[in-house]
């Protein structure tokens, strides 16, 4: 009796090797969750990453992600552990969507140093920590997609959000610099700049503030997380292979 061959069929192996793996930070809610859902529907193996493991695992249970990892982008140890686990179990990371972000609003004259440092560390330095984890593999495979979620306030500024605007403007500079470094290695680096989007970050704004913002949006409505997810899905696709260093504004005409 011959030895039983338990290897998977060649077609299955080839499919596994060609299946792109996308890690989304801040995947537990809002834009991150919508992006995970959209990329999964587009055929990517999605790794849901955020501090909230319960919500990460919910994405897996709903079959919008193949695995969940706990990730605190302010901790170098957490970043290394999460990305090592994801790369080991998923095989590799082809796409990184840096979406994790927070606000700590206040006028600059009264802003506490902790509020400045926390926002810059999470929104900007956190994205850079994640990028450093995926670059070696992407360069080795000569294919990769990095999308940084910035903001319209990183382009236009916003009173009372000096820290947030600075962090998001920094992401734009990071995007453009990395795009120049990585272009010859088959890795594209782009950014999506959302405008006024209906998320947990905006739902608690006073009604008067909401109406004031809406008056500056030519299309006359808030955006949805799915609007941002659609832009990300395009930028990580093969159709966008000749686009790098670009900031795609998804803001309803709020800033042109």
Question: Hey, which residues are catalytic here?
Answer: 164
The number of beta carbons lying within 10 Å of the beta carbon of residue 150 is 30
Cα diameter, the chain: 82
> Position of tokens 């990580």?
236
Q: Enumerate residues 6+ apart whose C-beta is below 8 A from 146.
A: 95, 96, 98, 131, 134, 138, 175, 178, 182, 187, 188, 189, 190
Cα separation, 113 vs 162, in Å, equals 12
């Amino acid at each position: 009796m011959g030895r039983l061959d338990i290897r998977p069929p060649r077609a299955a192996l080839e499919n596994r090797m060609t299946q792109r793996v996308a890690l989304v930070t801040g995947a537990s809610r809002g834009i991150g969750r919508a992006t995970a859902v959209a990329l999964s529907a587009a055929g990517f193996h999605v790794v849901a990453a955020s501090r909230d493991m319960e919500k990460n695992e919910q994405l897996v249970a709903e079959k919008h992600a193949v695995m969940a990892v706990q990730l605190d982008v302010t901790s170098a140890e957490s970043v290394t552990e999460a990305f090592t686990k994801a790369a080991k179990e998923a095989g590799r990371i082809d796409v990184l969507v840096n979406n994790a972000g927070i606000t700590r609003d206040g006028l600059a004259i009264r802003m506490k140093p902790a509020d400045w440092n926390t926002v810059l560390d999470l929104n900007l330095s956190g994205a850079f920590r994640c990028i450093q984890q995926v670059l070696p593999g992407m360069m080795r495979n000569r294919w990769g997609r990095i999308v940084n979620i910035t903001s319209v306030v990183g382009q236009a500024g916003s009173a009372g959000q000096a820290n947030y605007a600075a962090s998001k403007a920094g992401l734009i500079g990071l995007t453009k610099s990395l795009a120049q470094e990585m272009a010859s290695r088959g890795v594209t680096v782009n950014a999506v700049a959302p405008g006024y989007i209906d998320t947990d970050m905006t739902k608690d704004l006073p009604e008067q503030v909401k109406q004031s913002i809406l008056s500056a949006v030519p299309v006359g409505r808030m955006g949805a997380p799915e609007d941002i997810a659609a832009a990300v899905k395009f930028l990580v696709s093969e159709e966008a292979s000749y686009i790098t260093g670009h900031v795609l504004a998804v803001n309803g005409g709020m800033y042109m």
